[in-house]
Amino acid sequence: MQLQPCYKLVKLVPTHQASELITQTCDKTSYKDLCNSALGSANAADVHSLAKSALEATTLQGGAVTKKIAELMMSKAADVVQKLTDCSERYNVAMDKIKFATAALEAKVFSDVNVGITTAMTETQSCEDGFKGASPMTADNKSLASFVVLAYQSPNWLKIRFYKLPSFGWKEN
């Protein structure tokens, strides 16, 4: 079962200014199409609210992956269930770190935004690494990783420079 991205935020009709901001911002990201799809309907008046929307989209996608893990656990062998249990725990940590990053964004503590987002990325990579071979989570981990990278880039929209995001290698099935 392929997880469908769950990144559509509440449909609002963005103003021309918001639409222009989204277009200009998404053009600068690593995942332009994902950015436009996830944030295209955000009514973002400024880069701060757009960054918050990116974190919200990441949270929604993480929730969808967590649900899929629970579904997979019902139909897999015991050894895979243990690995999925580990993934579930890692995704819970990742989502807590995205919430932490969102609170840090609101408080304008940008170094904590960076810490929360990079920790979330590490947790999703650890889920993938736990399979040491073919993983039923590869597509979902990649999908969430794309959202995390998008969220990671959002503080840069605020003209804050962080350390370079580590590159994560993904195993293919």
Measured in whole angstroms, the distance separating CA 69 from the mean position of its chain's CA atoms is: 16
Is 38 contained in some domain? yes
Is 8 contained in some domain? no
Q: Which structural domain, as residue segments, surrounds residue 90?
A: 16-155
Is 7 contained in some domain? no
The closest of 52, 50, 87 to 68, measured between CA atoms, is 87
Q: Cα–Cα distance between 80 and 57 in angstroms, integer?
A: 28
pLDDT band at 16 (very low <50, low <70, confident <90, very high): low
Residue the block writes with tokens 């997880």: 3
Q: What is the DSSP letter of 163?
A: P
Is 169 contained in some domain? no
Is 6 contained in some domain? no
Model confidence, pTM: 0.77
Report, as an integer, the average pLDDT of 57-78: 91
Domain count, the chain: 1
Q: Tell me, what's the pLDDT at 145?
A: 87
CATH of the domain at 141: 1.20.140.40
